[in-house]
Amino acid sequence: MALKGLDIFKVLPKTNCKKCGSPTCMAFAMKVAQGGIELEKCPDISAEALAQLSEASAPPMKSLTIGAGEGEYKLGGETVLFRHDKTFVSKSLYAVEVCQDCVDERLPQIKTIDYERIGERMIVDLIAVEYKGDKAAFLDTVKKAQGAGRTLILEVSDADAAKEAVELVKAGKPLLNGANESNWEAFNKIATDAGVVLGVSAKDLDSLYETVQKLEGAGNKNLILDVGSASVKDAFANTVQIRRAALKDGDRSFGYPSIVNLAKLAPNDPVQQLALASIFTLKYGSIIVLSSMTYAQALPLYGLRQNIYTDPQKPMKMEPKVYPVNGADENAVCAITVDFALTYFVVNGELERSGVPVNFIVADAGGYSVLTSWAAGKFSAGLIAKFFKEADIEGKVKNRTLIIPGKVAVLKGELEENLQGWKILVGPNEAVGLVKYLKDLK
């Protein structure tokens, strides 16, 4: 929860400040409350007071880390229920479930999902290995999944199998998802000894709450809550109630990320799983497990996640550079636009639809749209010419024809002065007109 300046002032030392010699002032406390300065900057504050305030000011949902190295992911830390209130902190992670019967088929499929969109690499984040009663087969499947280079979820409720599996892969910091009302003590020891996050499930929310409190009483607060697989309706209700209890009611016993297993909620129905994955991406699945995922399914799902888990106050930007379209080489005509991601995708789609090879140049314009960046002075002839020089555009393309957006036709004359030797053409006002324009130009 957010602390007020008065709350902080009450626990600060009442002696003269070693830095300024004056009594502890309210101004310092207010700065801390507003996030303008760290509480640790006060040289006189006691360790006890610091620990007290740190605990009270921590997000209502605990921040956790699973995985290691390139497979390390942050979960939790959320402070709001709705993206427009502030922003979401930790993006949903997508996992594909494997078992002894399907691991050889699904691992190659998992590796095919690997692409980049607006500077973010998109892959199957996690692999969930399911225990089906055969410990030897389970451990063999864990070894195979480990070779795929993804962070693992160990879906196992048998303590002996869990202990051996964790021992095999503990360096990769897997998620051990298997604690429940009956085995929580054994699983708590396995998880704490290995230093891994523990997943907790129960028959209903009341039982889940009680089990979490027992684990907290035993000193374990590195937990993820499994919302259950009785029905889609119950799983969705549980996910929302857990999040609301933590963020609205301040109940820290439910202040943990959640895991939703769609492979169990909608078995053998990948279309329904994909639809549910989009719902739980919005409300509020921290980890979403599917039975499988194809490249075609990943594209819309990952695009949705990227839109939801980005700061709404900051525009999504493309990397400023030359993007060859339709197999364009250095002799293809050039077209330019701004680095606002939405503009890029709209224009790029029309360029591809035209079938004409184009060197699509994206200029640094602060992440604004064409007219907004032009009005703000971020998409001017001088800045475009400067970008051409810094990015060595003339060294990368030989064609000296440049198509500019029709809405900034006013830049034509200045660009001809600033880009000596270039032929500047004014394109259509709207991207949809590019197909005809390019075909006529060709």
pLDDT (tens digit per residue) in 345-362: 999 999 999 999 999 999
Specify burial of residue 219 (Cβ count, 10 A radius: 0-12, 13-18, 19+): exposed
For residue 12, the model assigns a pLDDT of: 52
**How much of the chain is in helix, strand and coil states, percent to nearest 5?**
45, 20, 35
Domain ranges for the chain: 5-57, 63-308, 322-441
For residue 281, the model assigns a pLDDT of: 95
Q: In the 8-state DSSP scheme, what is residue 130?
A: E
Percentage with pLDDT > 90 across the chain: 73
Query: What average pLDDT does the chain have?
Result: 88
For residue 44, the model assigns a pLDDT of: 63
> Is a pLDDT exceeding 70 seen at residue 3?
no
For residue 296, the model assigns a pLDDT of: 84
Equal fold, 63-308 vs 322-441: no
Kindly report the number of other CB atoms within 10 A of residue 172's CB atom: 18
pLDDT digits (tens, 9 = 90+) for 186-195: 999 999 999 9
Q: Who has greater pLDDT, 26 or 199?
A: 199
Lowest mean pLDDT segment, chosen from 21-30, 58-67, 331-340, 415-424? 21-30
For residue 115, the model assigns a pLDDT of: 86
Q: In which residue are the tokens 């119950």 written?
A: 234
Return the beta strands (E) in 201-331 as ranges: 223-226, 258-261, 287-290, 322-325
pLDDT digits (tens, 9 = 90+) for 11-67: 555 544 555 444 455 566 566 555 556 656 666 666 766 666 666 566 789 999 999
Kindly report the number of other CB atoms within 10 A of residue 189's CB atom: 14
- Between CA 199 and CA 128 the distance in angstroms is 12
> Is a pLDDT exceeding 50 seen at residue 332?
yes
Sign of CA pseudo-dihedral 180, 182, 188, 190: negative
Q: In the 8-state DSSP scheme, what is residue 409?
A: G
- In Å, the largest CA–CA distance within the chain is 80
- Between CA 73 and CA 129 the distance in angstroms is 18
pLDDT digits (tens, 9 = 90+) for 207-239: 999 999 999 999 999 999 999 988 999 999 999
- Between CA 150 and CA 124 the distance in angstroms is 8
Burial 330-363 (b: 16+ CB within 10 A, else e): eebbbbbbbbbbebbbbbbebbeebebbbbbbbb
Q: Which tokens hold the place of 440?
A: 């006529």
**pLDDT classification of 116: cutoffs 50, 70, 90:** confident
For residue 23, the model assigns a pLDDT of: 47
> Is a pLDDT exceeding 60 seen at residue 422?
yes
pLDDT digits (tens, 9 = 90+) for 260-282: 999 999 998 999 999 999 999 99
- Between CA 302 and CA 300 the distance in angstroms is 6
CATH node for 322-441: 3.40.50.11600
For residue 142, the model assigns a pLDDT of: 96
Assign domain 63-308 to its CATH superfamily.
Dihydropteroate synthase-like (3.20.20.20)
For residue 384, the model assigns a pLDDT of: 94
- Between CA 155 and CA 29 the distance in angstroms is 46
**pLDDT classification of 6: cutoffs 50, 70, 90:** very low
> Is a pLDDT exceeding 60 seen at residue 320?
yes
Percentage with pLDDT > 70 across the chain: 86
